[in-house]
Amino acid sequence: MLWVKSFHIVFIASWFAGLFYLPRIFVNLAMVPPESVAERERLMLMAEKLFRFTTMLAVPALVLGLWLWLGYGIGLGAGNGWMHAKLLLVVLILGYHHACGRLLKSFRTNANRRHHVWFRWFNEAPVIMLVLVVVLVVVKPF
């Protein structure tokens, strides 16, 4: 079980690294002037590769988490409200990941209408969610 937990943490940390960096690329894409085609293409390539890699990291992170939850019974039973809160946050994080994919698609098709400041705020969401997840897992407040 400790091996599964260890790999779960590594994949989660790597997944979040991508979720932290991808919106920063969106900030830069939103700031690229229309005449800077090469700069836009370079940033698009970076964003697309990072999104693919981040998605590949999310899958084993979720599978290992399910293994711990269902296979070992971590968080099951009375007194484990923290796990329900954590699972709700995981669903929100998956929604955030999906939103990143939709935003990437809007950049790919030149349909983005959001300002770079909006992406700066959007970039803060995974930080807040990660802090909440870590507090729930470590402190187990309910």
Question: How confident is residue 48, by pLDDT bands cut at 50, 70 and 90?
Answer: very high
Number of structural domains the chain divides into: 1
Q: What is the mean pLDDT of residues 73-97?
A: 91
Judge whether residue 75 has pLDDT over 90. no
Binding residues, as ranges, are 8, 86
Stated length of the chain: 142
Judge whether residue 142 has pLDDT over 90. no
- The pTM for the full model equals 0.92
Question: How confident is residue 86, by pLDDT bands cut at 50, 70 and 90?
Answer: very high
DSSP string, 26-51: HHHHHH--TT-HHHHHHHHHHHHHHH
What is the SS3 assignment for 123?
coil
Q: Whole domain around residue 12: which residue ranges?
A: 2-139
Evaluate whether 129 touches 88 at the Cβ level (below 8 Å). Answer: no
Quote the pLDDT of residue 71: 85
- In degrees rounded to 5, what are phi and psi of residue 115? -80, 155
Mean pLDDT of the chain: 94
Evaluate whether 18 touches 50 at the Cβ level (below 8 Å). Answer: yes
What is the SS3 assignment for 66?
helix
How far is 103 from 119, CA to CA, in rounded Å? Answer: 10
Quote the pLDDT of residue 23: 97
pLDDT digits over 91-110, tens only? 999 999 999 999 999 999 99
Binding residues for heme, as ranges, are 8, 86
Q: Write the DSSP symbol of residue 68.
A: I
